[in-house]
Amino acid sequence: MTAQEAATFMRAFGDGTRLRIIAALSRRPATVWELARLIGCPEHRVSRHLRHLDARGVVEWRPAAKAVSYSLAAPSHALHDEVLAAVQATMGDIEEVRTDAAQWRKARKG
């Protein structure tokens, strides 16, 4: 891996919305609609962020009925493994991520 490739990969984690998506997908797979509803932003914006994450190998997708289900991809290199582990370990410190997690727990019960 070159320094440029590493920098390109790291940019996947350089946006608050993408961090919220990663945190949500750490809990369970989700569709664009579910993520948009959770995060409170338009589906087209969530789709754009998911394309960005997919292009860098952070997420993967699969068809699910009439939608596409996204999940976190298995780490494909050491940097991916280390960065994802660090991001997941510190997600609880992010206010919006805590709120998102509470929303999903509430939705699951209701």
Tokens of 103: 């929303």
All structural domains of the chain: 3-109 (1.10.10.10)
Phi, psi of 87 (to 5 degrees): -65, -45
C-alpha distances out from residue 80 to 35, 48, 63, 65, Å: 22, 21, 24, 30
Question: Whole-model pTM?
Answer: 0.90
pLDDT tens-digit map of 16-68: 999 999 999 999 999 999 999 999 999 999 999 999 999 999 999 999 788 89
Q: What pLDDT was estimated at residue 110?
A: 56
DSSP H or E run through 86: helix 78-90
Average predicted confidence (pLDDT) for the chain: 91
pLDDT in tens, 78-102: 999 999 999 889 888 889 888 888 8
CB count in 10 Å sphere of residue 59:
22
C-alpha distance from residue 86 to each of 23, 38, 45, 69 (Å): 12, 23, 25, 24
